[in-house]
Amino acid sequence: MKKYLPSAKTLSFFAVMLACYAIFSALQPAYIRSPYSILVSSMLPAVLALSMGVVIAGGGFDLSIGHVAGFSTLMCGYFLRRTGMDTYAAISCAVGLAMFIGAINGLMVAKFGISSFIATLSMQFVLVGARQLITSGDSFRANAAIRNIVQGQNFGISNLIIVSLAIIIIVGFVMQKTTFGRKMQFVGSNITASGFMGINVKAYTFLAFLVSGAISGVVGVLQFSKLTSATINIGDGWLFGAMTIAVFSSVIFGRFKAHGIVTVSFLIAMITTGINMLGVSSAWTNFTLGVILIISLMAGKYLGAGSFRALRKRFSKNTTV
């Protein structure tokens, strides 16, 4: 049973979350009724963070995920309105294009040995130019079929939550419970040892970027459904949020934990919503997030060195007996 006990950093993180909820609720009573809306707003950033989390688990970093998702959004509208494709063909082409971009990133990193930072940063500039050349700066509206993907409810639950959780569960299961996901995480933790064990490091590196592109493409379509329109600069600000969620999750919960990504995304939405409801400058959001991360890490280290570690040992002895 020892492995099922949460780590000290995890417990401290949840304690800080409860403290944030209590503080914001005390300062703004309307905040008490906000958890559901916070959950809705945290879903798509969490799904996009999965794409960054997969690449980080594979030992790389993808700076193009925001632009890939935005490009998928824009191209879905382009295929729908400019070429006359039906809904599902437009969606398939948009996601397929995002996967192709991910494959190019993977080839640059795995085949040609280019740094993932440099390769994906270069891809950002390519996509910024390509979207302007293809669309000439035009915007596109979603049709009813695309809007219905995440808008509306089933059993009183937003479709956005249902679809996003389905993606998170699938990706989390593949990455945490299958041989494929475990090998990918092993490659990211020790590339040299992975090669000696016979794991095809280049193949798994390539697949990490391919999966990242696929997830980013799906997020782009979901964003198109949620926002109902696609503009030329859509996706420009999505990278920072996804990167923050993925890095926070890897530090606090471990290398790749789907539930950790969802939890961190929820916390960021909590803080953003609370600060907005209080009418405080949005500049405090990043400051607060940094403070919370530091508190969680320091509290986790303190607890891990003291009482929490003793509790884990005592529990382990009891279960052994």
**Judging by DSSP bridges, how do beta strands 157-158 and 153-154 pair with one another?**
antiparallel
Count CA atoms closer than 13 A to 199's CA, side-chain side.
Answer: 23
Q: Which residues sit opposite 157 in a β-bridge?
A: 154
Cα 115 to the center of its chain, rounded Å? 21
Overall average pLDDT of the 212-221 stretch: 95
Among 214, 168, 192, 197, CA closest to 55: 214
* 29-52 per-position pLDDT tens digit: 998 888 899 999 999 999 999 999
Conformation bin of residue 110: beta by default, left when phi > 0, alpha when psi is -120 to 50: alpha
Check if the beta carbon of residue 142 is closer than 8 Å to that of residue 78.
no
Look at residue 254 in the predicted model and tell me its pLDDT.
75
- Residue 154, SS3 per DSSP: strand
* pTM beyond cutoff 0.85: yes
Domain residue ranges of the chain, discontinuous segments joined by +: 9-141+163-308
Report, as an integer, the average pLDDT of 95-102: 96
Q: In the CATH scheme, what is the code of domain 9-141+163-308?
A: 1.10.3470
Structural element, H or E, at residue 178? none
What DSSP line would sit under 260-307, residue for residue?
Answer: HHHHHHHHHHHHHHHHHHHT--THHHHHHHHHHHHHHHHHHHHHHHTH
Count the alpha carbons within 13 Å of 41 in the hemisphere toward its beta carbon: 14
Q: How far apart are CA 104 and CA 216, in angstroms?
A: 14
pLDDT mean across residues, the chain: 86
Q: Which residues pair with 158 in a beta bridge?
A: 153
pLDDT digits (tens, 9 = 90+) for 148-183: 998 888 888 899 999 999 999 999 999 989 999 989
Q: Is the dihedral of CA 172, 176, 181, 187 positive or negative?
A: positive
The pLDDT score that the predictor gives to residue 279 is: 82
The string of pLDDT tens digits covering residues 256-281 is 888 889 998 998 898 888 888 888 77
